A and B are shown apart, each in its own frame.
Chain A
Amino acid sequence: MKKPKVRELLEAARILAAGPATLPFPGAPSPAPPKARGRPIFHERDCVGCGTCAEVCVGKAIDMRDEGTVRRLLIRYDSCIQCGQCEAWCITGKGIRVEPEYDLTTYDRESIRDAVEKDLVLCEGCGAAIGCADHLAWVAEKLRTGAFASPTLTLVHLAKLGLGRATGDKIHLDGRGDRMRVLCARCRRPASLL
């Protein structure tokens, strides 16, 4: 009966000397460790608008929507499980990055959103969205000379570099003369075959 009490009293004395173990959070900030995965944030400069993050998002928190000539990527932090898959699979590696910020407490769900808007390239034949201008230019740079096999990639890339015209007026597809145009896959077929 005596002994266990002595052992536990010793431990109690040790703990008393060490002081409180609890942190004053939220009274004082409690910084996250360097590897912590908090909320992901879009970086407009490095994002090419490919939509990979929306594809791999486990919680389906990233919404991709094409409206007119703009693609809008919207992340809802109330659905985000902060797994970091979006950053891990981002094709540029920097377009969406996980920040260590974890405290997103709010009364208003609408206030915990982040969005990025990217210009779309539309098909000159039918007006359908082909992809984001930045994405196509990124692919063209990756492919280097290989990109010349696709007039769409080449034209969009040149336009990005300020060397040409990316999107023009709508055209009537009437033959191979239209091959050097920005065309979607469906319109490219008649342009190549007729």
Chain B
Amino acid sequence: MKTKIPIGPYHPLMEEPESFLLDVDGDRITGIDVRLSYNHRGIEKLSEGRTFEQVPFIVERICGICSNSHPYAYVLAFEDLAGIQVPERAQYIRTIVAELERIHSHFLWIGLAGHFLGYNTVFMWAWKHREDILDAFEAISGNRQNYAVMCPGGVRWDIDDDARRLIAEKIDAIEPKARLFLKAICDDPVLHARLRGVGVLPKEDAIAYGALGPTARASGLAIDVRRDHPYGAYDRVEWDVCVEGGCDVLAKAMVRARENIESIRIIRQCLRDLPPGPIRVEPEEAPAGEGIGHVEAPRGECFHYVRSDGGNRPIRHKVRAPTFMNLPTCQVTVPGMTLADTTIVLAAIDPCYCCTERTVVVRRDGSRVGWGDLVRLSREKTERLCREIRRPER
């Protein structure tokens, strides 16, 4: 029986609301139609009405999970425009915050992936350990989210000795957990049965679709803005770009789990080398001109463009979030999968799942299937695999 399953359009699976139209033949997906640009938030226009100083607070609220990447890209764009040299200490603090954010975002993804696969324990554990990182953010900025660390010309909050000690403690506490998840992904047979060969994005397709971040690195593409166009203190610390050649969801999970370890390494070095000095230079007037800034957000490259006519407000501000580039890869990864695998394949690019509960699927016979049903199907498949894998041992 051929069925069309619409997910969306008023179903923002991602940071940008979009629509998936799944063509289903029996249990197998034969095609997917991805549509974007349903919900206009007007962030770019809003920021054109604010001063350069105020814009970070607006762009910080684009994404609830990586609320540091957008302001970081914006301040880089502004500093490019105004030709500001940021103090060394500020560069290190920026790097620490960006990496802390990467850890908490990847832990969040690992938790969600576990949730979709039916491993609710993983969900609980990952989100519990993520709290340690959020505590570190509280110590730096006072807030768990929307830290307001970035400001044009430097950072708003300093990392004092107490905060430094606390961050070091939290990092020490989370490292064994990050390694636990990495090992679990490496050798758990059920995870392998569930994720290996699922949602394959071949390298050529990753290039053709312009995939970014962990999505691209899982397909063997060694791209990372932190290494290719160093900003912050990334060129002063030792770290590796995590690349996997598996191209499937397992590789994406591996990249994220390994990046956690790399982030911990970067933060340790930054805390050790944190130079003294000012944390901010007061920006002078912004000249007429344009600037670009891009950072490696947890999901990939986040890009901001700012143009000024010499006044105190941007006359054009363009934002490109990483999910915008990663989402179309579903065209390649989803067809051929079973309905039970759809959830994890769509989740593998790490989209924003804030509004998933609104999914309604209408079958041709009139019965309705929701996102919850897809998650249930996914969990049932894991249970079935668990049973199948245990059987030969008995």
Please tell me which one of the listed residues B131, B141, B157, B187 contacts residue A4 in the complex, with CB atoms under 8 A apart: B187
A83 at the interface (CB under 8 A from B): yes
B369 at the interface (CB under 8 A from A): no
- Residue pair B58, A1 in contact (C-beta under 8 Å): no
| Interfacial chain B residues near A11, Cβ < 8 Å | 125, 180
Chain B nearest CB, measured from A96 CB (Å) = 16
- Residue pair B128, A33 in contact (C-beta under 8 Å): no
- A34 to B188 CA separation, bound complex (whole angstroms): 42
- A36 to B138 CA separation, bound complex (whole angstroms): 7
Chain B nearest CB, measured from A57 CB (Å) = 9
1/0 per position for A44-59, CB-CB distance to B under 8 A?
A: 0000000000001010
Chain A nearest CB, measured from B78 CB (Å) = 16
| Interfacial chain A residues near B189, Cβ < 8 Å | 1, 4
Chain B nearest CB, measured from A155 CB (Å) = 34
| Interfacial chain B residues near A34, Cβ < 8 Å | 142
- Size of interface on A: residues with Cβ below 8 Å to B: 21
- A170 to B121 CA separation, bound complex (whole angstroms): 77
- Residue pair A36, B143 in contact (C-beta under 8 Å): yes
- Residue pair A21, B148 in contact (C-beta under 8 Å): no
- Residue pair A33, B139 in contact (C-beta under 8 Å): yes
Q: Which residue of A lies closest to B127 (CB)?
A: A21
Q: Which residue of A lies closest to B58 (CB)?
A: A58
1/0 per position for A173-193, CB-CB distance to B under 8 A?
A: 000000000000000000000
B393 at the interface (CB under 8 A from A): yes
- Size of interface on B: residues with Cβ below 8 Å to A: 26
- Residue pair B57, A7 in contact (C-beta under 8 Å): no
Please tell me which one of the listed residues A7, A15, A35, A83 contacts residue B138 in the complex, with CB atoms under 8 A apart: A35
- A36 to B58 CA separation, bound complex (whole angstroms): 19
B207 at the interface (CB under 8 A from A): no
| Interfacial chain B residues near A3, Cβ < 8 Å | 187
Chain B nearest CB, measured from A86 CB (Å) = 12
Question: Do A81 and B57 contact each other (CB < 8 Å), given the known contacts A7-B183, A8-B184, A35-B142?
Answer: yes
Chain A nearest CB, measured from B8 CB (Å) = 28
Please tell me which one of the listed residues A1, A32, A56, A84 contacts residue B148 in the complex, with CB atoms under 8 A apart: A84
Chain A nearest CB, measured from B242 CB (Å) = 21
Q: 15 A-B contacts, Cβ less than 8 Å apart?
A: A4-B183, A7-B180, A7-B184, A12-B121, A21-B128, A21-B131, A32-B142, A33-B142, A35-B138, A36-B142, A37-B142, A37-B148, A56-B53, A81-B57, A85-B57
A36-B142, A85-B54 given. 8 additional CB < 8 A pairs? A1-B189, A4-B183, A7-B180, A32-B142, A33-B138, A33-B142, A81-B146, A83-B146
